[in-house]
Amino acid sequence: MSLRGRHSRSTGDAVGTQAPRRDIQVLRALAVALVVACHAKVPGFAGGFVGVDIFFVISGYVITTSLLRSSEQRLGAQLLSFYARRVRRIAPAASLVLSATAIVGYLLLKKNYPLTLNDDIRWASLFGENVRLIHTSSNYFIPGLTPSLVTQFWSLAVEEQFYIVYPLLLLSALAWTPKRARRVVTLVLVGAGVIVSAWWSWRVTGTQPISAYYSPFTRFWEIGLGCLVALLPEHWTIRWRPLNGAVSVGALVVVGVAMHHLSGASVYPGVLAWWPCGATALLLLCGRREGWAGGLTFLSAPPVLYLGEISYSLYLFHYAWLIMPQYFPSFPNNAFDRVGEVACALACAMLSYHLIENPIRHSRRLAGDTFASFVVLLIAIAVVWNATAIVNHLVG
């Protein structure tokens, strides 16, 4: 596909053994740090939930770049290869967290084990937790209401729902459109989707806040914004290094302002989500220059890059560690306790990343056998459902 151009630079996901872009790893680290700080109730980070929006934009950029980097295969082969990579990337760590939440939750809570948690876990294993939360009118910003231990899986569900359709549309457009028109056609298609989804997000956020927060239709534009950046011509970037750095720093400031001014009471996503999403799109655009990380250069220290590497596992693990104590009314969950909980989540994420996530994700055996990758998905779902079945039996 001639549209690939210089998009062969790695983004840290998908195939290859290429090194990940530093600026993307820094953005991932920033996103997960904001989310964890928000859920840990760190003062000044009430708007840290914008980290999820940052993840959405990054995801759209990374996946589109990966699709553009695909070899000249048949459409069906490309789609199977894409979904197999997603399974190896997402399913193992997700099933580990869901199974552990069910088993450990029962062992700790016993009679206090929430009766609805097993249903939440099963929905999450099928990438439908956002639908479940909308159906049950759940809102984890309501004071005094203890949220489900797997609420964080709503964002993973939105992403996977997006990727059920998007790769088919993009690869079909590339395969069936004349070479000269490919870039224009793909930009128009994705741009139209972003506009419609953003309009719908603005339209319903004020009247249906829970549905708007978790709905894929009000969130697709955020992922699509990252897709648009990846589809832009390579020369659409800031070539003067000082200006590139200044724009990057300005975008970081916008993220900080959004995080500081937003809270659980904000009318969100709607128009307000453009703050973190627009800023992230700018940061990704600035980082496209070979060897540049824009204003993120000074942040790309090894610990930060490592945090970006394990950000997916940390995002999955941190929530149960921080929310579980709320099920014990007498548990003294002060700031010191929360530091310990985050440390435990970080340790779990590191173990998961090195022992589960990376070995399966980079397995040559699985990479060469698409069918085996889908067997991994079935096994992952079966493990989760078996864990909930055991707990259901024990709860009686």
What's the pLDDT at 48?
96
State the pLDDT confidence band at 143, using cuts at 50, 70 and 90. Answer: low
Lowest average pLDDT, out of 40-49, 172-181, 224-233, 301-310, goes to 172-181
pLDDT value of residue 75: 81
Report whether pLDDT(5) > 80.
no
Separation of alpha carbons 209 and 242, rounded Å:
41
Mean pLDDT score across all residues of the chain = 88
How far is the C-alpha of 389 from the C-alpha of 1, rounded, in Å?
A: 47
At 331, the pLDDT band (50, 70, 90 cuts) reads confident
Record the pTM.
Answer: 0.92
366: which 2 tokens?
């699985």
**Residue 143 belongs to what domain range?**
2-395
**Would you give the DSSP letter of residue 138?**
-
pLDDT digit string, tens, across residues 12-53: 444 444 566 888 999 999 999 999 999 999 999 999 999 999
Q: Is the pLDDT of residue 9 over 70?
A: no
pLDDT exceeding 90 applies to what percent of the chain?
Answer: 66
Would you state the pLDDT for residue 115? 85
Residues 6 or more apart in contact with residue 331 via CB below 8 angstroms: 325, 337
* CA distance linking residue 229 with residue 247, whole number of Å: 15
Q: How is the chain split among helix, strand and coil, in percent rounded to 5?
A: 75, 0, 25
Encode pLDDT of 87-137 as tens digits: 999 999 999 999 999 999 999 998 889 889 999 999 999 999 999 999 987
With tokens 């249903």, the residue in question is 119
Percent of the chain with pLDDT over 70: 89
If one compares 65 and 235, the residue with the highest pLDDT of the two is 65
The total number of structural domains that make up the chain: 1
**Is-contact 121 319, C-beta < 8 A?**
no
Q: Within the chain, how many helices (H) and strands (E) appear?
A: 17, 0
Name the pLDDT band for 341 (thresholds 50, 70, 90).
very high
User: What is the mean predicted confidence (pLDDT) over 309-334?
Assistant: 90
- Rounded mean pLDDT, 157-169: 94
Structure tokens at 254: 């916008």
Confidence of residue 230 (pLDDT cuts 50, 70, 90): very high
Predicted confidence band of residue 351 (pLDDT cuts 50, 70, 90):
very high
More confident of the two residues 259 and 10: 259
For residues 309-319, one letter each, b for 16 or more C-beta atoms within 10 angstroms of the residue's C-beta and e for the rest, the string is: bbbbbbbbbbb
What is the C-alpha to C-alpha distance for residues 60 and 226, in angstroms, rounded to an integer? 4
pLDDT tops 70 at residue 335: yes
Tens digit of each residue's pLDDT (9 = 90 or more) over 184-219 = 899 999 999 999 999 999 999 999 999 999 999 999
Of the listed ranges 201-205, 313-317, 330-334, 365-369, the least confidently predicted one is 330-334
For residue 164, give every residue at least 6 positions away whose Cβ sits within 8 Å of its Cβ, in sequence order, or none. Answer: none
H or E element at residue 71: none
What angle do the packed helices 117-125 and 370-395 form, to 10 degrees? 180
Phi-psi sector, 234: left (phi>0), alpha (psi -120 to 50), beta: alpha
Mean pLDDT of 49-60: 97
In this predicted structure, the answer to whether residue 244 has a pLDDT above a threshold of 90 is: no
* Predicted pLDDT at 346: 98
Cβ(103)–Cβ(391) under 8 Å?
Answer: yes
Please write the tens of the pLDDT for every residue from 274-298: 999 999 999 999 887 655 555 566 6
* Per-residue pLDDT at 32: 98
Q: Which amino acid type is present at position 275?
A: W
For residue 141, pLDDT beyond 80? no
Q: How far is CA 164 from the centre of its chain?
A: 15
User: Which contacts (CB < 8 Å, 24+ apart) does range 299-306 have?
Assistant: 299/26, 299/29, 299/30, 300/22, 300/23, 300/25, 300/26, 304/25, 304/26, 304/29, 305/22, 305/25, 305/26, 305/29
The pair of three-digit structure tokens given for residue 141, joined into one six-digit string:
């910003």
